[in-house]
Every structure is written in C-alpha cells, then in structure tokens.
Amino acid sequence: MRQRAGLGTALAVVAFLTFFLGPFFWQVLTSLWPDGELTRSWPSHLTLESYVSVLWGRPFLRVVLNSLVVAALTTVFCLVIGSAAAFALAKLEFRGKGLLLSAALAVSMFPPIATVSPLYLILRAVGLRDSLVGLALPYATFAMPLTLWVLTSFFRQLPDELYRAARVDGCTPFQAFRRVLLPLAAPGLATTAILVFIFAWNEFLFALTFLTTPEKRTVPVAISLFASEYREPWGEIAAASVVATLPLVVLTVLFQRRIVSGLTAGAVKE
C-alpha cells in the first residue's frame, strides 16, 4: 500500500515535470540544433551558432538592455510611490481606505486593451511615445495595484506596537514609516520588486503599441517580430528565448519562496 502510493507519487511527479519542463528543454535543444538540420529527426551534433548569431549578429543585447531599463524603472517607480501608500493603508486611519484598495484591485483587472488607445494619445501628446521612460508609466496600470496589495499585506504583518512605539518616541507618521517600518518591510519590498520586475519584463501589448523604433524594442516584442523580419530562424528564436528567459528562471528558482508568498499574500490573506 505504502509502496504503491510512493510509486503513484513518483509517476505524478515525473508527469508534471515532463509537462512543465519538457517544452523548455525542447527549446534549449532547438537552440543548440544546427540550423540546416532542423528538418531532421535528430541533430548530428550540437552547436552554439544560433547563440553567436543572436548575440553578435543582431541588436539583441540592446533589446535585453531595453527590457532591463523598463522593468527596473517600473519597479523603482512603483516601489517608491507604492510603499508609502501601502504603509498608510496598513497602519493609518483615514477615510476611503477600503475604496482605494478595491479600486486598486479593480484596476488590476482592467483589460489593457481598454486603456491602450487613450494611453497612446496621451503619450503622443506629451511626447513620450516611443520612449522607454514613457513605457514605464502605463506599466503602472498593473504594477501599482500589485505593489499596493502585496506591500499592504506585508505592512499589516508588522506588529502595530512598533508603529505606536515610534510615535511615542516622537516620530511623525512619515518618520515612523521611513525609519522604523520601511527597513523592517525589506523582505516584502524585495518580493514586490521581483514580482513587478517579472511582470514588467514580460509585458507585451503596451510595448508593441507604444514603441516603434527597432532599437527600442523590449524582449517580448523583439521575439514576437523575429520571424517576420527574417526567415523563421527557429534556432535563433530558440536561442534568443533562452537568453531572455534564463535570468527569469534563475530569479524564480532563487526566490521561489518569496514569489510564492507574494503571489498568494495579495490573494489569500485577505
């Protein structure tokens, strides 16, 4: 009985691992497959050619850099603004608190397509169309609600006594936030930063719409347009995908616990 359960578990583990990791490994294999042999059932040897041509034959590193800039800008922007608000939401009394949290939740459910045309017109009007900075702003649509929810739940977990003690010591609410609670919320900030970073790195619709110059493309846009610019170079697409994904995979595996707690904090703790 025990053994059968063990076998069942093992089979289930193998099945899930195959389903979730198999396609990724196939992609890695494709990226190492010699270009002329993709039509064969098995490669005769493995090669790094696709990586060489992606990294040196195309402006792909530039594209990775663009994504880093946009994702980092979004992260910093949302954390700076969001942490203050999250602190107030968790520890201070004021009217409209529930409304703000529900509003944030509602915004996070906005289909991006609903706001894309006005945002396009706004960015064009202020001259931020086709700019990486201009892209970080609309990213707040999904990043800000995420920041507010995750961070608010983190601040709530910090004991009220800390805040009260700081106030008794003569801190203003803002000082209490900056000097006492913010440093303690660092793990929460890190979690939020990772999540926002990943979401911003992966965003596609806004990047596709607001950026026009090829040199400004972000990773998802560049990868989506790969085939159309050249002759469906599957090996290179795979290599570019691996390059673009590896940082995320490493980040995810390293911070797995944090990501899980962050993803579920906003959702389940309420």
216-235 residues near another protein, rule: CB under 8 A: 219-221, 223-226, 228-232, 234
Q: Is 1 a residue that touches another protein (CB under 8 A)? A: no
Binding of another protein at residue 182 (CB under 8 A)?
A: no
Residues between 42 and 61 that touch another protein (CB under 8 A): none
Say how many CA atoms lie within 13 Å of 264 toward its Cβ: 5
Q: Least distance to another protein from the beta carbon of 125, Å?
A: 10
149 to 56, 138, 236: CA distances (angstroms)? 41, 18, 39
Instruction: Output 52 or 187, the one with its CB closest to another protein.
Output: 187
Q: How far is CA 138 from CA 120, 206, 210, 213, in A?
A: 10, 8, 10, 18
Minimum Å gap between C-beta 157 and another protein is: 14
Which one of residues 46, 48, 110, 179 is an interface residue with another protein (CB under 8 A)?
110
Question: Which 190-209 positions form the footprint of another protein (CB under 8 A)?
Answer: 190, 193-194, 197-198, 201-202, 204-205, 208-209
Give the 3-state secondary structure of residue 41: coil
Selected from 34, 43, 55, 81, the binder of another protein by CB under 8 A is 81
Nearest approach, Cβ of residue 45 and another protein (Å): 18
Task: Find, among 115, 156, 139, 234, the residue nearest to 195 by Cα.
Answer: 139
131-160: which residues touch another protein (CB under 8 A)? Answer: 132, 137-138, 140-141, 144-145, 148, 160
Helix axes 186-202, 132-157, angle to 10 degrees: 150
Query: In the set 32, 50, 51, 75, which binds another protein (CB under 8 A)?
Result: 75
The residue from 55, 173, 182, 184 that contacts another protein (CB under 8 A) is 173
Q: How far is the CB of 141 from another protein (least distance, A)?
A: 5
* Contact residue for another protein among 91, 166, 192, 236 (CB under 8 A): 91
- Among positions 85, 158, 171, 182, the unique one binding another protein when judged by CB under 8 A: 85
One residue of 7, 46, 48, 92 binding another protein per CB under 8 A: 92
